[in-house]
Amino acid sequence: MCSYVNRVVLPGDEIENLKESEKTHKVLLGPGLYREADSVFASKPGVLKFKEPNVYWVDCQQRRYVPARGDGVIGVVMAKAGDVFRVDVGGSGLATLSYLAFEGATKRNRPDVKVADLIHARFIVANKDMEPELTCIDGQGRSSGFGVLRGDTCFMLTCSINLCRQILTPQCVLMKSLGKGIPFESVVGLNGRVWVKTRSVKETIAVVNAIQAAENMTNDQIKSMCTRLMDSLAGFSSEEMET
């Protein structure tokens, strides 16, 4: 096992003794790591993380997103240019999204995508030598949750990339605590954007405020905050019924 896991690494540090997959005998490098010849180095300052069976990445506090192949992101359609859409994902430049990169899309059956729409997509091309490219389908041509995000009671907030990674973990206390009292849908992008939709504008605002406030809280503080939030929403509901 790599002795650097859960330790702080700096750009240029060589990461040794990485654990390989027993089936493929390969190591998957995530954000913050790069390979040079037969060695692996850190490209960002942060804490080295590991996920079974063979995934490594550097967890760092950053707000500027750098596209990485396979990342699921939330983008804003900025323009239509011929057969592609130009999408803002929060990086240094715009990404492209083909109109054929949607489930069931053909030359005659084009997707209903407009400028300023929110898009949940994933990167299929992301490197320094090529323009980043997005798709809204998986390897089998299915949408798998990707596509246009719409709704009358939805909202997109911007937060740190580190918070988005925490929310995506199965053991995230915040999302579990909120889900006990408020039915809601959420899409989390690895580019620091979170889309939330509930039954009402009031509940959407409550969930958004809770997510923004949770970034610097402990798990106990998050549970306490969610409990107070549920009580306040219950109070509002009772007042509306009386009136």
Contact residues for 190 (Cβ-Cβ < 8 A; gap 6+) = 65, 68, 71, 72, 73, 161, 164, 165, 168
In the chain, the percentage of residues whose pLDDT exceeds 90 is: 49
Helix (H) or strand (E) holding 242: helix 219-242
Please, what is the Cα angle at 214 between 50 and 165, to 5 degrees? 25
pLDDT of residue 241: 43
Residue ranges and CATH numbers for the domains of the chain are: 8-59 (2.40.50.100), 72-149 (2.40.50.140), 154-238 (3.30.1370.10)
What's the whole-model pTM score? 0.80
Phi, psi (rounded to 5 degrees) for 21: -70, 140
Give me the pLDDT at residue 242, please: 46
Mean predicted lDDT score pLDDT of the chain: 88
